[in-house]
Every structure is written in structure tokens, then in C-alpha cells.
Structure 1
């Protein structure tokens, strides 16, 4: 469809130009014949075929084979030589004006140069925009492929963690297994059907987080104390799926284990005037506070890549890491 539109546009430009050319070359120029001429008599049908042949020889052959292949010197030499030759041929052999070569050039050269220069510019501009469009499409495809790859790294990770959790609870004979399977089903539905979307509704993503945290609350009873604070002025926004859940998962995976007390996981999510602010803090063991594990670093780099691809110059992400707590901060402009 795009190629057809470009072809129609180019055809329209050419038709309008030749109408303009005929008016300027044959109707606006003074009549030197000495007698009144009809409209058809004013059109030089000896000149037009030569001009058209020269113009489209340049447009269809010289520009694609020489100019676009950056053989500028050869192209320039040939086009100048052909224009001068065509002008001399027209003056001395077609209309036989018996004028000097200098007089011929001053009177007739512009009639050959005008269409060659104008339509060459149109050809060059058209080729430039087509190349730009191809580059944009290539870049878009590259970004989409990279995003799919990054999300494919996330989805199995979330799925296997949840399945392992259900299995562990079933082995223990927990009464919560049925509820956990139902929650897992909802989580999987979101992961399978919504993660392929570029953007999903904020409400849907928050519901997924709520369901995930409820799942984790059942799984980590007696281990974690989970606090999830939400302050959202409007759900009328869209967000890339599975951005926040990676940070929440890491909080559970790397939270400290205390025999005599619960380990805190604090999550704050706010949206105000289209600006999302997210903070996820969990307690860590002193000896593992630096968290230099390869998997953890890959997860952070994965998230940063997705943010740079989806929200370039519209996000801020940083972490605070000390001996007792690890905190991830994320801010996204959803507007």
C-alpha cells in the first residue's frame, strides 16, 4: 500500500510539473513569429520529444546507475555533455535557427535543464525518504525482536518460580494449594496473553501484581511481611507489561530469612498526573547485601534494556544497596 501511494504521488508530481513546463515554455514566452498563433501552434512539438527523452533517460537510467551508486563525477560529466549535445542538436538540426552556439545556449538551454534539474531533485528526495523509511522499519523490527527476546527471558522465569511454589506447598499438604492454583491460573493468563502486547492498561498490570502478591503471601506465611501501598489518581494510562514484576520477584528471591522475626518487603506504587513512581524494598542478609550474583545482574540489565527501548528519555531507574536493605526505584512518564 505504501509503495502504491508513493507511486501515485510521484506520478502526480510529474504530471503537474509537465503542465507547468508547457505553460512556462510555450505560453508565457514572447511570440516572435510575427503572426497570431493558436494554442496548439504555440506548443513546440519538435522540442517536447527531445526534452522528454533526455529527462527520462536521466531519471530512469543515469540517476539509478550512476548517481545513486555515488559515481558523481561521471554522472555530472555525462549529464552536462548530453544536455549541451541535445541543445545543439535542437538548434542546428531540428529547427535550424542558424544562430551561434552561444546564442543557442542562451535561448534554449534552460528548456532542457529545467526538467532535468527539477525531476532529478524529486528523484533524489524520493530515494532519500524511501531509504529513511527502510531504516526506520529495520530499526522498528530490531527493537520488536529485542523486546520479544527480553520478554521471553522473563516469562519462563515467572512461570517456573510459581510452579515450584505450588509443588512445594502440595508436598507439605497445605490447605492453600487450591487457592494458589487458581491464582497461578490468573497469573499465567496474563503472562501468556498480555505479555505479547506492547502496552496494557495500568489497571490490568496492577491487578496482576495484586494477584501475584496474594499468591506470595500464601507461599511465604511466617517468612515475609508484605506491605503494598497504592496511590493512583487515575488508571486511565497504559504501561508495558511485566516491567514491575521482575523487581518484585527479586525482592522475594533475595529477601533475608529470620528465625525469630518476619522479613519485610515494602512496595510503594503511585501514579500522579501520568507519572508512575515505584519503589520496592526488601531486607537482605548482611553477608549477601551486595548481591553480585550473575542472575541478578542479568535481570537488572534486562530491565534497563527494556526501559531504554520502550521509554527512552521518559524513565529513571536506580537502586540503593546496603548491608541491611536493597531498594529499587523506578519512575516512568506514562503520558
Structure 2
């Protein structure tokens, strides 16, 4: 394992990469010269290799260190093309002049009457290709780096959102348990025979919260079963004082949903109707599906003081839902809340 780490570190060494690259370049050029000469002279071959190597080094590092950062990356594309082309011809013709000055041995393609412009292309074609290749490699590495940064950012954002969602979900559990225990305590004070039944239902609900609701998403069928048990528990508490109607569409069973998302709405509805003094309290709950969209509707009787609903402690649950909706279903939900002195209505649509 330690050897592999040293090997990876060795390969990633920037200086080593350049040394290996230029060593391979010199090797290829030397082979190319020996393959295309009629009379070999060590001095001529050495001078030709050095001149081609020098031309390639000048052009490639000018391109990487100056032309790309100060021209191409600043959207001066035309100026970049003109500059790189001009530099190429200046360097190449300077080196070619050096060849003529030292009267290097002729190549077989000169003997075959190949024109000198083509001779330059053959001699320095690899240099030109490497210059272009250096640009491509630069942008490929930059693209990979940007992708890595983007992935790191997305992962960091995902972890942050996940932590925030866990915090929001954790707020629901004690809130729900606190309300349920309060209900059981009230029945116990009245020595109601319904207290044991409420404890059993609460046990089922807490089992769902502790085990199933830990997942990011749960089958909507299980969530609906939880909602039904929750409503049954509340019905026991309010007895005949509240007219409660609940409907759900079985077509929803095939979908998944974030757990406990709808619970705060139901909790608040029962909380407010149970506080009413008249006997006309009601709660209507309906869940339906239309073209892969969940429709959640709930309305309950209300009094004038509900105008300040979202400014008191009882609005915490709904604020929690709003935050979770923004995090889990961004641009995939619509929440409408309406209230007056007669009733409080919530319409929620989620693309599931």
C-alpha cells in the first residue's frame, strides 16, 4: 500500500512529468532524423535535435505561461490565434536559418526535390502539433479541476442540506411526542378508559417515527397509514366535539414521500379545533393524486385570533414544513395557506 502511494506521488510530480515528456520528444526526434538522413554526422544530428527541442520548448511554454492565460482565457481568441501563429513562424524560421548556416546534411526528401516550405512542415510539424496539444491538455486539466471543484461544492452542499434536514426532522419527533403525551395526560386526569387505547396507538406511531421515518423517503402507503393512526389518536382525544372527515386515494400508494412532512398540518388543525368553545368545530382532510402530483387539502374551523397564527408558538410546525419543502422539493411544490374568522385552509401540491 505504501509503495502504491509513493508510485502515485512519483507520477503526480509535475517536474517529473515535464522531464519524461521532453525525454520522449528528444527520443522520437532522434529516431526520425536517423530514419530520414543519407549521411549521418553526429554534430549535425545533435544540432538538429537541439534546435527542434529549443523551438518546441519556446513555443509550448510561451503558449502555456503567456498566450493561454493572458489571451485565450480572457476571450481574446483572434489575438491568440494571430500571436501563436506568428510566434510559430518566427521561431521555426529562426531555427531553419540556423540549419542553413551550419550546412547540415541533406535529407532524403530534399534529394527527392521536396520543396522547402514542406521541408519546414516535416521538420517542425511535431512542434506545431505539440503546441496545439499543450493547449488541449491545459483546458482538459482545467475542465477536470472545475469538475472536481463542482463535485466538492455539490457534496458539501448535499451534506449541509442533509444536516439541516436531519435537524428539522428531529424537531418533529419531540414535538409530536409532547402533544401526544399531553393528550394522554389529560385523559388520565379524567380517568378515561380511552387512555390505554391511546397509549397503544402512540406506540405504533412512535415505532414508525423511530424506524421508518429515519429514511430520506418512505413509501407513501406507510405515511398514509401513519396519518390515519394519527387522526384516530386525535379522534379519541376530541371525542364527539369535532366533526372529522378523512379521505385518501389508493393511487398514491405507488409513490414515495419525505416522512412526517404532512404531520404538522394535522397537528395544528386538531390543536385549534380542540381550543374552540362552540360545538361546530370541524376538520376535513383529503389526499389525492393527479398526474404524478400529490394534492393535500386540509381545512379546519377557526376563530379570529388565527390571524396571528404564524406569529405564535403554534406556527413552528408549519414553518418547519416550509423549510423542508424548500430543501427536498425545490420548484416541485406549491403551498397555499388561507385563513379568516371562519376557517383555516391549507392546499399543498407536490410533484412526486
Provide TM-score, normalisation by structure 2. Answer: 0.68
The alpha-carbon deviation at position 34 of structure 1 amounts to 6.0
Provide the rounded CA distance (Å) in 1 between the counterparts of 2:55 and 2:190: 92
- Asked whether the 8 Å contact 1:55–1:116 carries over to 2, the reply is yes
Match of 2:211 in 1: 193
> 1:312 and 2:312 equivalent?
no
CA distance in 2, matches of 1:210, 1:45: 84
Distance 2:272 2:49 in 1: 85
The residue aligned with 1:39 is none
8 A Cα contact 2:252 2:294, kept in partner: no
Using the alignment, how far apart are the partners of 1:233 and 1:195 within structure 2? 21
Structure 1 residue 171: Cα displacement:
2.3
Partner deviation per Cα, 1:195-233 (whole Å, 9 max, x = no partner): 321110000100000110111111111322211012232
Of 207, 214, 224, the residue aligned with 2:225 is 207
The whole-number CA distance in structure 1 between the counterparts of 2:310 and 2:37 is 95
- Counterpart CA distance in 2 for 1:55 and 1:196 is 56
1:320–1:120 Cα change, 3 Å: same
Q: Are residues 1:148 and 2:150 paired?
A: no
Query: 1:290·1:321 contact (CA, 8 Å) conserved in 2?
Result: no
Q: 2:99 aligns with which of 93, 97, 100?
A: 97
Gaps of 5+ in 1: 36-43, 73-79
How many Å apart are 1:105 and its aligned residue?
A: 8.8
Secondary structure of 2:216's partner?
A: coil
> Contact 1:268–1:280 at 8 Å: present in 2 too?
yes
Report the counterpart of residue 272 of structure 2 in structure 1: 254
1:41 match = none
Matches within 5 A, 1:56-205: 97-98=99-100, 108=124, 109-205=127-223
Bigger mean CA deviation after superposition, 212-221 or 283-292: 283-292
User: Matches of 2:306 and 2:147 in 1, distance apart?
Assistant: 54
Most deviating of 161-170 and 323-332: 161-170
Q: SS state of the match for residue 144, structure 1?
A: helix
Report the Cα distance in structure 2 between the residues aligned to 1:53 and 1:204, rounded to whole angstroms.
69
* Secondary structure class of the residue paired with 1:331: strand
Going from structure 1 to structure 2, the CA distance change for 1:115 and 1:316 (only over 3 Å counts) comes to same
Distance 1:176 1:256 in 2: 17
Q: Secondary structure at the match of 1:291?
A: helix
Cα pair 1:223 1:258 within 8 Å, conserved: no
Q: Where does residue 77 of structure 2 map in the other structure?
A: none
RMSD: 4.5
Kindly indicate whether residue 282 of structure 2 is the aligned counterpart of residue 264 of structure 1.
Answer: yes
Residue among 264, 269, 273 paired with 2:291:
273
Aligned length: 293
Distance change (3 Å), C-alpha of 1:258 and 1:127: closer
The structure 1 residue matched to 2:36, chosen from 33, 36, 45, is 33
Deviation at residue 48 of structure 1 after TM alignment: 7.8
Is 2:245 the partner of 1:243?
no
Distance 1:331 1:205 in 2: 16
Q: Counting helix residues as a fraction of each chain, which structure ranks higher? A: 2
Q: State whether residues 232 and 272 of structure 1, in contact with CA within 8 Å, keep that contact through their aligned partners in structure 2.
A: no
In the aligned structure 2, how far is the partner of 1:50 from the partner of 1:190? 73
Distance of aligned partners of 1:259 and 1:153 in 2 relative to their CA distance in 1, 3 Å threshold: closer
In the alignment, structure 2 segments of 5+ residues that lack a partner are 39-47, 75-82, 103-116
* Cross-structure match for 1:303: 321
Indicate if the aligned counterparts of 2:55 and 2:91 stay in contact, CA closer than 8 A: no
**Aligned partners of 2:297 and 2:347 also within 8 Å:** yes
Q: Decide which structure has the larger Cα Rg and report it.
A: 2
Whether the aligned pair in 1 keeps the contact of 2:283 and 2:300 (CA below 8 Å) is yes
Q: Is the 8 A contact 2:238 2:274 kept in 1?
A: no
